[in-house]
Structure 1
Amino acid sequence: MGWSTVIGILGAGGVARALAAGLRAAGREVVVGARSPAGWDVPGVRAVAPREAAGAADVVVNALPGDVSLDVLAGLSRELQGKVVLDVANAVVPDPVGFAVALRYPGGSLAAELQRVLPGSRVVKALNTAHVSLMAAPGSLPVPPDVFLSGDDPAAKDVVRGLLRDLGWPDRAVVDLGGVETARGPESFVLMVGDLVRALGPVPFAFSVAR
């Protein structure tokens, strides 16, 4: 993936801000798709309407809430045609506090559903097992975390590996699980988050495989 590649990020929440800042710091050209572009404030990263961002980008990151991701991205299928779509979202049924009590796509995954409605795109799942504060700063933990890839297209995974390097993830931390159907494993990790927060407190954490 060349340095001239434009990275489009759909969403304007904490995840989008962390990834936009991290990729911009690595020298990438980043454009964000937001419903309210005027409220965006990450230096060096412009915000436009989601359709414009998807159309202008070479690689698109889904940083939208999981419960709206499928509908929004399906509506952008023309703009996403032929592009790598990095899905970092978790689609869950939340409890009153906001922690996941069930997956929105049990037996499957958001990534697989996105690939189904975007047959002309190349969907790769990654980064959804890391706290937002670690997505662009994995080295801030004393124990090195891992990041997982799920997707059907090897070349698309290579593109995502390049983005992960930009965000500070070393190659040894990247675990390729296989096709997009394997995304159900990493997506299920979110079911532990509420219990982990109650056990550990509100500290940043990520998934790591001892090996």
Structure 2
Amino acid sequence: MTSIAVLGSGTVSRALAGPWRAVGHEIVVGSRDPLRAAADLPVPGVRVTALPDAARAGDVVVNTLPGAASLGVLRGLAPHLAGKVLVDVANAVETDAQGFATAPLHPGGSLAEEIQRALPAVRVVKTLNTMHASVMAAPRTLATPPSAFLSGDDAGARRTVAALLTDLGWPPEWIVDLGDVRTARAPEAFLLLVGSLVRAWGPVPFAMSVAR
């Protein structure tokens, strides 16, 4: 099994930590406030600690931090991340008064590319950022099969992340390997559609899907 460090202790962290732990992975959650996070994340067998300690502990590190803060925090953790697979689940966007995305923070690029550029010794893979958190570890709950995209320069890292997705219940045929990290731009842009979809459908879980 894999030692996975989940950076961040919000909704996405809670959605992933428990299911990965349930299939046997060793999970440590990194938080700026470990005591409060531990109280909010009562998952048996999941350890909560400070961000640097978590980054050191994981063979695979998952970024669930807020998109706007991710780059700065990860830069500070660079010595602990070198050589590791970094799964980037965050979206970096400007938002309106309702909290919906209005523009990307990295136009002409993506957060994943910025992380890879800032941390060249890390193997970044973008995934799971085109869906509601409740779908990430329960893709079969939707009426239409969703798609999980993989973007990253290292093919071995993409295979590692694909295996972790299957542990969350993703059938291999629902996982789409897009190739290098530049391909993260389109999946990250999906968030610009979310506000309109919520206004049209209401606050129901949904995900991006590619029909073929």
Same-fold call, TM cutoff 0.5:
yes
Deviations 1:18-76 (A, max 9, x none): 11011111111100001111122222211000000000110000000000000000111
Question: Paired residue for 1:14, among 1, 11, 16?
Answer: 11
Bigger drift between 136-145 and 38-47 goes to 38-47
CA distance in 2, matches of 1:43, 1:190: 32
User: Within 5 A, what are the aligned runs for 1:35-50?
Assistant: 35-39=32-36, 40=38, 41=41, 42-50=43-51
Matches within 5 A, 1:125-204: 125-204=126-205
Amino acid of the structure 2 residue aligned with 1:33: G
Structure 1 unmatched runs, 5+: none
Pairing of 1:25-44 with structure 2 (within 5 A): 25-39=22-36, 40=38, 41=41, 42-44=43-45
Aligned residue for 2:177, secondary structure, equals strand
RMSD after superposition = 0.7
TM-score for both structures, normalised by structure 2: 0.97
Between the aligned partners of 2:193 and 2:16, the Cα distance in structure 1 is: 23
TM-score by length of 1: 0.97
- Flag as ranges the 4+ runs of structure 1 deviating above 3 A: none
Partner SS for 1:21: helix
Q: What is the CA-CA distance between 1:131 and the residue it aligns to? A: 0.5
Q: Report the alpha carbon displacement of residue 177 of structure 1 after superposing the two structures with TM.
A: 0.9
- Structure 2: gaps (5+ residues): none
1:88 aligns with 2:85: no
* 2:194 partner amino acid: V
1:59 paired with 2:60, answer yes
Distance 1:61 1:151 in 2: 14
> What code does the residue aligned with 1:32 have?
V
Separation (CA, whole Å) in 2 of partners of 1:134 and 1:176: 19
Looking at structure 1, the residues matched to 23 and 35 of structure 2 have their Cα atoms a distance apart, in angstroms, of: 24
Partners in 2 of 1:28 and 1:137 — Cα distance?
Answer: 17
Q: Which amino acid aligns with 1:44?
A: G
CA distance in 2, matches of 1:28, 1:61: 13
**Which SS does the other structure have where 1:115 is aligned?**
helix
Is 1:79 equivalent to 2:76 in the alignment? no
Aligned twin of 1:114: 115
1:145 is displaced (CA, Å) by 0.5
Aligned length: 208
Identify the residue that residue 209 of structure 2 maps to in structure 1: 208
